[in-house]
Amino acid sequence: MAKQHKRLIFNLFLLTFVLGTSEFVIVGLLNEVSADLKIAISTAGSLVSVFAITFAISTPILTAVLSRFSKYPLMLALIGVFIVANVITALSGSFALLVASRIVTAVVTGVLIALAMSVANETMPADKRGPAISIIFAGFTIASVVGVPIGTYIGQWSGWQMAFWFTSVLGIVSLIVSAVTIPKQLRGTKSSLQKQMGLITNPRIVIGFFIPALSIGATYTVYTYLAPLLQEVLFVPERYIGVIFLLYGVVSVFSTLIGGKLAIRNGIGKLRYVFLIQAAILASLYFSSHSIVAALISIALIALVVYMMNSTMQLYFIDVAHKYYPAAKELASSLAPVSINVGIAFGAALGGIVTVNRELIDVSWAGGIVAVAASLLTFVSYQLDRKASRYRSHMKETL
């Protein structure tokens, strides 16, 4: 990989790290926000849902609308909006203003992630796309391991607003680095919104969209309730909960990097079996929960497989768009992050249903069933790809 490619990937990694820190740091500051604005903790928690829903709805639409513009000025402008939105969050004295600023942040976050993936896809050599995209995805993962704890500590130490002054400063750094490293020659694609939206009606795209949603949903069925699992089932002392979450995050970074290797060749074919392994690991927690050591091994393995599908699915959407909807490549770049956010919401909801109607530990096998569903969809997707490949080969021979 040439030096300019390395610098670009580092910048895009930094960008997703900043975006991830801004998105997730609020989770660690709900008590502070609740106390400062004199609102219920559940009301403060709705900020997380508002962000995820806004992200999922706005990202594909705005990505399609903005795809006609050149990427260099567009990305710099959106990073500028991101900085302003974080400053407004830091200055918010009311819940209404805080919600509004988080909605704006969610809108630009989704589009920036899609553009970052598109830039990497267009500029990297073919054999480096998978590893490059895995590094960019790793920015989000490392944000939860490094950025969020730092932001949470800052917010708890000197007020939750300071956490968003922190993300604002990170945004300024990212803006400066982006101005230097993002190629200026990357043009937009002029196409009607109707033509681009044709992409999301393609059966392979529809099926593909639910693959990462089910996979990440399977994990979040368990992960959302990991803290009570550790305390009420494994009887882990409260002072060690944070350490376990930190270690989980560290292991999940390797999951992203391994996923980049899987994506280099026939990633979809490999994921059929990865999801079956994921199902077995999730279900194993049900049986290993009688031993702290065995349960912690299960939890570490859950972290190791959680992001293995990221790079493969990102490239899958882009490649399908390239073959059938070349004007919708930016829109295709947004589908994996949107699918993941849908999966997080689904997994959290499913885990809640299970914990209300069953025992807490039953989230493990419930997550395993969802992972099996992800594997079955991947088998279907793989068969459709093979049929399409055979059809193209037959048409070439006929001609």
pLDDT at 192 over 70: no
With a pLDDT cut of 70, the percent of the chain lying above it is: 94
Helical ranges in the chain per DSSP H: 3-24, 30-37, 41-66, 71-91, 95-123, 129-142, 148-158, 160-181, 193-197, 203-223, 226-228, 241-262, 267-288, 292-305, 310-324, 329-357, 363-398
Q: For 191-399, which CATH superfamily applies?
A: MFS general substrate transporter like domains (1.20.1250.20)
pLDDT at 251 over 70: yes
Higher pLDDT, 330 or 142: 142
The sign of the torsion formed by the CA atoms of 78, 11, 133, 342 equals negative
pLDDT tens digits along 215-239: 999 998 898 788 788 888 999 887 7
| CATH number 1.20.1250.20 given to 1-188 | yes
**Mean pLDDT across the chain:** 87
pLDDT tens digits along 363-391: 999 999 999 999 999 999 888 878 876 76
pLDDT tens digits along 141-154: 788 778 878 888 88
Q: What are the structural domain ranges in the chain?
A: 1-188, 191-399
Q: Which residues contact 321 (CB under 8 A, 6 or more apart)?
A: 199, 328, 329, 331, 332
With a pLDDT cut of 90, the percent of the chain lying above it is: 41
What pTM was computed for the model? 0.78
191-399 shares the fold of 1-188: yes
**What is the pLDDT averaged over residues 295-322?**
90
Helical ranges in 289-327 per DSSP H: 292-305, 310-324
